[in-house]
């Protein structure tokens, strides 16, 4: 059955242990047996029983030491303990109770009486399982002494007060019940013979009220003769123990102390359990608050990161839109110039050929002054050809820069792209900055022309800004380890390490307010990364800066591989 009480029997005699097991199992209990205290500890580590029955004489650790050990452990200190002893010497009862046992029975008693004591201890344990621990679990116990003899009351009260108990007295059963209804007590010492009602009636009334009391009260009944029949009826009425009034006061005190010990142990267990629950709730609350704070911090960090990325993307879109607008403008200007330029160049050639055909017959008829003007006109016409070719070259470079096919991979001549960017920045170079060109073998490179022109524009613009007064910019291209590199080095002021480490951060700039957005190199870094390349910076303060763009020669094959991996 699920509600069977479990009892641990600690007995080194196999015969005695078997006899006790059979009797307890016949009474409906589940039984575990251990031959030694050490074996009992092993059993307790597996399952906690509802009650322990132990022999006093055990091999190794004695029964009294077992009791003390159980009482010192928070998990076992509330388990009732019944001690079986064959000792009959004076003081054995007191010694057993002082060691922590709740009750003791001589082995010479028949087992029916043992079962009665077990049921009494379990009943006490069951009642106290629904009792709340007091607010002051270690306060001195408060006792109510009930006896119609003032002399005995005074004697007993004096002895118990010396033990540190708080004492109140009542001369009758009715007075005792009134006190119990008005205030809480830890224990009652009750004479069974009272003038108005019997002590057993008081026990029954108290037992009936235990379910509604905030704390269960233990009852030690006193009688003139503790016969077997009297013991049975008193325990059945609700008392926790019965002692003869003629016994030594020290024995009565020991009996009472054993009863109160269980009550105090239970209260302490409840207090500790409540503290553990409160501490656990506090830990859970702290952990939840910590998790919530960490979640909030993480969310704030994510929002901040998202905000930074949004600002960066927005700035990149604005910058890309500017470059696109510039490209459209340049393309429009180049187109508008190209048509009349072609018209002028074609007709200039026609005029030059016609004048050449007419030169011989005309020159022979011209005077000396007219002939000088004629020949000067023909020379100017030839010089016009050089100027028109320069305009044609400028238009070609503008058209090269204005390519807007950003989403398409194209094969382009890197030197032409570089020259187109230089043409647009020529107005900033003027006569103070010289461009040194060190192009490798003419190389056609797969890339995205529009974004790559933006990278070259950003790097060259920064190089021009870094040069104060006269200086040089050296542009070199070449191949190395299946990569194509573009090196742009200036003779400017260079950068300290602290600045060099941050130049690719969005919105970071060393220029004055209004002088730059801090996005040029950040955007360039992203474009080069999308090409599968790298952007390297070498700079020393006072010795200039070199930025190297490295792009893979097999970008087209890499793009096909990426598209295949993405299901494109």
How does pLDDT run across 348-367, given as a tens digit for each residue?
A: 777 777 777 776 777 667 77
Instruction: Over range 288-300, report the average pLDDT.
Output: 87
Taking alpha carbons only, the member of 137, 224, 248, 238 closest to residue 188 is: 238
C-alpha distances in angstroms, 296 versus 291, 305, 366?
A: 8, 14, 97
Instruction: Over range 462-470, report the average pLDDT.
Output: 87
One domain for residues 67 and 114: yes
One domain for residues 310 and 214: no
Domain contains 274? no
The answer to whether 415 and 441 are in contact (CB under 8 A) is: no
Is 130's pLDDT higher than 60? no
Is 211's pLDDT higher than 60? no
C-alpha distances in angstroms, 459 versus 36, 476, 518, 519, 533?
A: 88, 13, 12, 12, 16
Percent of the chain exceeding pLDDT 70 equals 79
One domain for residues 421 and 387: no
Q: Which of 25-29, 96-100, 554-558 shows the lowest per-residue confidence on average (mean pLDDT)?
A: 554-558
Phi and psi at residue 292, in whole multiples of 5°?
A: -65, -45
Supply the pLDDT for residue 170. Answer: 93
Taking alpha carbons only, the member of 417, 512, 415, 493 closest to residue 455 is: 417
Question: pLDDT band at 129, cuts 50/70/90?
Answer: very low
Q: Which of 240-249, 261-270, 322-331 shows the lowest per-residue confidence on average (mean pLDDT)?
A: 322-331
Supply the pLDDT for residue 440. Answer: 85
Top-confidence residue, 375 or 230: 230
Domain count, the chain: 4
Percent of the chain exceeding pLDDT 90 equals 15
Instruction: Over range 257-282, report the average pLDDT.
Output: 74
CA–CA separation, 517 vs 510, rounded Å? 10
Supply the pLDDT for residue 29. Answer: 94
The answer to whether 23 and 46 are in contact (CB under 8 A) is: no
Instruction: Over range 333-346, report the average pLDDT.
Output: 71
pLDDT, mean over the chain: 79
pLDDT tens for 158-179 read 888 877 678 999 999 999 999 9
Question: pLDDT band at 316, cuts 50/70/90?
Answer: low
Residues 6+ apart with CB under 8 A from 331: 398, 399, 402, 404
Supply the pLDDT for residue 476. Answer: 92
Domain contains 256? no
Domain contains 517? yes
Is 189's pLDDT higher than 90? yes
One domain for residues 172 and 302: no
Give bridge partners of residue 410 from the DSSP assignment: 447
CA–CA separation, 184 vs 214, rounded Å? 8
Phi and psi at residue 55, in whole multiples of 5°?
A: -75, 150
One domain for residues 93 and 213: no
One domain for residues 208 and 237: yes
Q: Decide which of 402, 435, 467 is a domain's last residue.
A: 402
Give bridge partners of residue 10 from the DSSP assignment: 34, 54
One domain for residues 151 and 76: no
pLDDT tens for 226-237 read 888 888 888 888
Supply the pLDDT for residue 285. Answer: 86
Is 305's pLDDT higher than 90? no
Domain contains 273? no
Strands 142-146 and 166-170: parallel
Question: pLDDT band at 146, cuts 50/70/90?
Answer: very high
CA–CA separation, 65 vs 377, rounded Å? 133
Question: pLDDT band at 135, cuts 50/70/90?
Answer: very low
| pTM for the predicted model, two decimal places | 0.38
Q: Decide which of 214, 247, 280 is a domain's last residue.
A: 247
Taking alpha carbons only, the member of 568, 519, 118, 108 closest to residue 316 is: 519
Taking alpha carbons only, the member of 59, 2, 1 closest to residue 35 is: 59
Instruction: Over range 19-41, report the average pLDDT.
Output: 90
Instruction: Over range 43-62, report the average pLDDT.
Output: 86
- Sign for the CA dihedral angle at 415, 420, 425, 427 comes to positive
Top-confidence residue, 167 or 524: 167
Q: Which two tokens stand for residue 277?
A: 């629950």
Domain contains 276? no
Is 126's pLDDT higher than 90? no
Domain that holds residue 503: 406-565
One domain for residues 121 and 135: no
Vertex 84 angle, CA 79 and 89, to 5°: 125
Domain contains 457? yes
Question: pLDDT band at 436, cuts 50/70/90?
Answer: very high
Top-confidence residue, 518 or 114: 114
Taking alpha carbons only, the member of 512, 537, 543 closest to residue 525 is: 537
Supply the pLDDT for residue 169. Answer: 93
Instruction: Over range 399-418, report the average pLDDT.
Output: 69
Domain contains 264? no
Supply the pLDDT for residue 1. Answer: 47
Q: Decide which of 247, 278, 311 is a domain's last residue.
A: 247
One domain for residues 550 and 429: yes
CATH of the domain at 102: 3.40.50.2300
Is 5's pLDDT higher than 70? yes
Top-confidence residue, 471 or 332: 471
One domain for residues 323 and 452: no
One domain for residues 433 and 471: yes
CATH of the domain at 410: 3.30.565.10
Top-confidence residue, 78 or 55: 55
Is 568's pLDDT higher than 50? no
The answer to whether 384 and 376 are in contact (CB under 8 A) is: no
Question: pLDDT band at 33, cuts 50/70/90?
Answer: very high
Q: Which of 265-279, 282-296, 519-533 shows the lowest per-residue confidence on average (mean pLDDT)?
A: 265-279
One domain for residues 494 and 554: yes
Is 246's pLDDT higher than 60? yes
Domain contains 490? yes
């Amino acid at each position: 059955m699920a509600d069977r009480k479990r009892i641990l029997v600690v007995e080194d005699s196999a015969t005695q242990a078997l006899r006790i097991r059979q009797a307890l199992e016949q009474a409906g209990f589940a039984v575990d047996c251990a031959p030694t205290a050490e074996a009992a500890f092993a059993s307790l580590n597996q399952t906690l029983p509802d009650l322990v029955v132990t022999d006093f004489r055990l091999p190794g650790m004695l029964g009294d030491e077992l009791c003390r050990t159980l009482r010192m452990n928070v998990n076992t200190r509330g388990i009732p303990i019944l001690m079986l002893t064959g000792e009959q010497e004076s003081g054995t009862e007191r010694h057993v109770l002082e060691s922590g046992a709740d009750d003791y029975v001589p082995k010479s008693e028949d087992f029916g009486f043992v079962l009665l004591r077990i049921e009494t201890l379990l009943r006490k344990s069951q009642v106290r399982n629904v009792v709340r621990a007091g607010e002051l679990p270690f306060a001195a116990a408060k006792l109510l002494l009930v006896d119609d003899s003032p002399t005995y009351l005074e004697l007993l009260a004096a002895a118990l007060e010396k033990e540190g108990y708080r004492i109140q007295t009542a001369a009758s059963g009715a007075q005792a019940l009134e006190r119990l209804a008005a205030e809480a007590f830890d224990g009652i010492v009750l004479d069974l013979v009272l003038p108005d009602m019997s002590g057993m009636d008081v026990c029954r009334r108290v037992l009936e009220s235990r379910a509604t009391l905030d704390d269960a009260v233990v009852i030690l009944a006193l009688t003139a003769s503790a016969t077997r029949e009297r013991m049975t009826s008193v325990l059945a009425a609700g008392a926790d123990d019965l002692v003869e009034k003629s016994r030594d006061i020290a024995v009565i005190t020991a009996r009472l102390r054993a009863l109160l010990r269980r009550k105090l142990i239970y209260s302490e267990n409840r207090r500790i359990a409540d503290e553990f629950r409160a501490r656990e709730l506090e830990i859970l609350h702290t952990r939840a608050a910590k998790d919530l704070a960490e979640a909030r911090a993480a969310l704030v960090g994510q929002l901040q990161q998202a905000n930074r990325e949004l600002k960066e993307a927005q700035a990149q879109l604005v910058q890309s839109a500017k470059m696109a607008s510039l490209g459209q403008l340049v393309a429009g200007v180049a187109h508008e110039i190209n048509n009349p330029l072609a018209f002028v160049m074609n007709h200039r050639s026609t005029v030059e050929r016609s004048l050449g055909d007419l030169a011989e017959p005309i020159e022979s008829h011209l005077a000396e002054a007219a002939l000088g003007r004629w020949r000067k006109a023909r020379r100017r016409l030839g010089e016009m050809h050089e100027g028109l070719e320069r305009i044609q070259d400028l238009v070609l470079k503008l058209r090269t820069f204005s390519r807007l096919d950003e989403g398409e991979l194209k094969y382009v001549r890197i030197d032409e792209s570089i020259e187109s960017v230089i043409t647009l920045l020529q107005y900033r170079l003027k006569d103070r900055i010289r461009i040194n060109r060190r192009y490798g073998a003419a190389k056609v490179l797969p890339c995205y022309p529009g974004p790559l022109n933006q990278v070259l524009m950003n790097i060259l613009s920064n190089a021009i800004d870094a040069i104060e007064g006269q200086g040089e910019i050296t542009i070199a291209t070449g191949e190395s380890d299946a990569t194509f590199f573009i090196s742009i080095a200036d003779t400017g002021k260079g950068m300290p390490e602290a600045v060099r480490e941050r130049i690719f951060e969005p919105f970071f700039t060393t220029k004055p307010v209004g002088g730059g957005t801090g996005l040029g190199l950040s955007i360039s870094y992203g474009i080069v990364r999308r090409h599968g390349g790298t952007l390297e910076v070498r700079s020393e303060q006072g010795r200039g800066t070199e930025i190297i763009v490295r792009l893979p020669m097999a970008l087209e094959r890499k793009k096909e591989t990426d598209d295949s991996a993405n299901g494109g």
